[in-house]
Amino acid sequence: YTVLGTTFTLIVCLLAAYPLSEPRFRLRGPISLILGLTLFFSAGLIPTYLTYQSYGLLNTIWVITLPVAFNFWFIILVRANISTIPRELKDAARVDGASDFRILLQIIVPLSKPILATIALFVAVAIWNDFFNPLLYLNNSEKFPLTIMLRRMLIRGATGEVVQGNYADTLQAKAFFRQVKMATVIVTLGPILLVYPFVQKYFVQGTLVGAIKG
């Protein structure tokens, strides 16, 4: 869920922010206004659930990964970063025969690594720590993320199901339950802690870009 949702978010942000940052695109004002309204209004829980149900997204991987990709706030940050890129670079590429898609891949993306890394970190942490949406939209326990299992272990004491027989009430069994809980917490925190050092150098730069241009 985390990898797929983060990838979709970055793709949507780039494909939406690039045309909205181009003065040649005449509809960028109205489109930005319409998309900006989504930041102030929410459809609510029940209409959202019914919408997902009508599109057949319930109990699928897409109900977790697709909605998070369409976040206009992230698009604003990427658009602000693209606006700081000298226009001469894009004009020179067009003179050399480069298409907009090639400009996006070979010029925009390399120069937007700080803000993309920042957004990727925010989205990855949000999806990784989210347990409410999977609990609400997923019915198959085989599709539950690790956070749901951790919630069951820490809140509901579901680790008691690991041990069968008459040993469940012994001190040894309770110690085993505690070890399983701690191991699950470490496994849950581990991936994010391992990824953060690699994006830390981009994180500060990306945050400053959003603060100055946003």
Q: What is the CATH number of the domain that holds 100?
A: 1.10.3720.10
What DSSP assignment string belongs to the chain? -HHHHHHHHHHHHHHHHHHHT-TT-TTHHHHHHHHHHTTT----HHHHHHHHHHTT-TTSTHHHHSGGG--HHHHHHHHHHHHTS-HHHHHHHHHTT--HHHHIIIIIHHHTHHHHHHHHHHHHHHHHH--HHHHHH---GGG--HHHHHHIIIII-GGGGSS-GGGTTSHHHHHHHHHHHHHHHHHHHHHHHHHHHHHHHHHHHHHHHHHHH-
Domain enclosing residue 25, as ranges = 2-138+192-213
Is residue 112 domain-resident?
yes
Is residue 179 domain-resident?
no
Is residue 15 domain-resident?
yes
Is residue 101 domain-resident?
yes
Is residue 186 domain-resident?
no
Q: How many domains does the chain have?
A: 1
Higher pLDDT among residues 205 and 186, named by residue: 186
pLDDT beyond 80 at 95: yes
Is residue 52 domain-resident?
yes
Is residue 61 domain-resident?
yes
Q: What is the pLDDT of residues 139-188, one digit of tens each?
A: 887 788 777 777 776 665 544 454 444 444 566 666 666 777 777 777 77
